[in-house]
Amino acid sequence: MCTAAVCSLLINLSQPDTVDERAINRGAKLSIYQMHENLTLALNSAQAIGCNIVNIGPEDLHAGKEHLVLGLMWQIIRVRIRSFCFIAKVIKRVCYNSPVHWTLLAHNVPAVLNTGHPFSPICPL
């Protein structure tokens, strides 16, 4: 069983402030309608950050269909990894286009430029 709290937490870790936590129904005893409403909120948020949720409904997550739950979780994690890759590419472009880069190149200091980036194994730049 995939709870909406776990899905919402993972989505917010992937893309901050995606799920408004005030909209989540809380309580010790939630009705099936409130649970489905929470799961629908989590699915809509996952779709908003770029996950493909075709043929995945709140009843599938509530039933705990492993292949659908794991597929959704992997897509949310993939969104986070891709955001790291994007940040690494932007950093490399900014560093490459900076005057310091060309000054070092003019002074024949290529060793400083080939230090690598911590995300380079994940996404070769």
**Cβ distance 6 to 43 under 8 Å?**
no
Per-residue buried b or exposed e for 78-116, using 16+ beta carbons within 10 Å of the residue's own CB: ebeeeeeeeebeeeeeeeeeeeeeeeeeeeeeeeeeeee
On the question of pLDDT at 101 being above 90, the answer is no
Measure the CA–CA gap between 5 and 20, rounded to whole angstroms.
11
| 108 pLDDT higher than 90 | no
pLDDT tens digits, 27-85:
889 899 999 999 999 999 999 999 999 989 999 999 989 999 999 999 998 888 887 77
pLDDT tens digits for range 35-51: 999 999 999 999 999 99
State if pTM tops 0.85: no
